[in-house]
Amino acid sequence: MPSIQPAEFRHAMQSLASGVAIVTTGTAAGRRGLTVSSVTSICMEPPCLVVGINARSEAHDEILANGSFGVSVLRSDQEDFALRFGGGEGAKGVHRFDTGAWDQGVLDVPLLPNAFCALECVLYDHKALVTHTVFIGRIVAARQSDGNPLINFRGALRTLLPD
C-alpha cells in the first residue's frame, strides 16, 4: 500500500499540538543545537524519551559522538530561541548560543537556564530511518520552572491560556 504524500502528512501532523524544545549537545566551540517539536516520553523504567533529528543537522553527529544531549522545553516567552535554533536568523553552530548565558548540566550539555523544563539524557539507543535518526535518551537529570509552554500547532508557535 503506498504512503500518503508529504504535503498531506505535514498537514495532518500540524493538527497534533506539541511542545517546542531545543536539543543541545557539546561544550565550548563544539556546542550544537536545534529546535524540535518531536520529543516524546517512551518509558518510565528507566525514564527515557525519544526525539527525531534530521541526519543533516549539525547536532546529529555531535550527539552520536558525545553520547549525551539536553532537552530544553521552551516557555511561551522564549519564541526567539525557537526561531534562532530553527535557523530563522541564519545563525549556525556555536553561534546559535550567542543569546546569553547557558548552563552546563551534570552531563556537561548546554541547557537554557529558564526553560519550562530541562532534561539531560545519556544516549541509550538510536535508529536511522531514511532522513532522520530516532534518538532514545535515558534521562539522568531534570528540572522545571514556572510559566506556560510554547506549543507548535497548525504551523504556528502558540501558548496555552494561563490557568
Q: Is residue 106 classed as helix, strand or coil in its secondary structure? A: coil
Residue 48: inside a domain = yes
Residue 7: inside a domain = no
Torsion over CA: 89, 94, 95, 98 (sign): positive
Q: What percent of the chain has pLDDT over 90?
A: 87
Tens of pLDDT, residues 100-130: 889 999 999 999 999 999 999 999 999 999 9
Nearest to 58 by CA among 89, 26, 88, 21: 26
CA angle 158/68/61 to nearest 5° reads 85
Average pLDDT, the chain: 94
The whole domain housing 146 covers: 19-159
CA pair distance 125, 111, nearest whole angstrom: 21
CA pair distance 107, 68, nearest whole angstrom: 7
How far CA 121 is from CA of 91, 102, 118, in Å, comes to 25, 17, 10
Residue 10: inside a domain = no
Tens of pLDDT, residues 1-47: 999 999 999 899 888 999 999 999 999 999 999 999 999 999 999 99
Q: Give the CATH number, domain containing residue 129.
A: 2.30.110.10
Residue 163: is its pLDDT beyond 80?
no
Residue 13: inside a domain = no
Q: Taking residues 95-103, what's their average pLDDT?
A: 91
Tally of domains in the chain: 1
Q: Give the residue carrying C-alpha cell 510554547.
A: 150
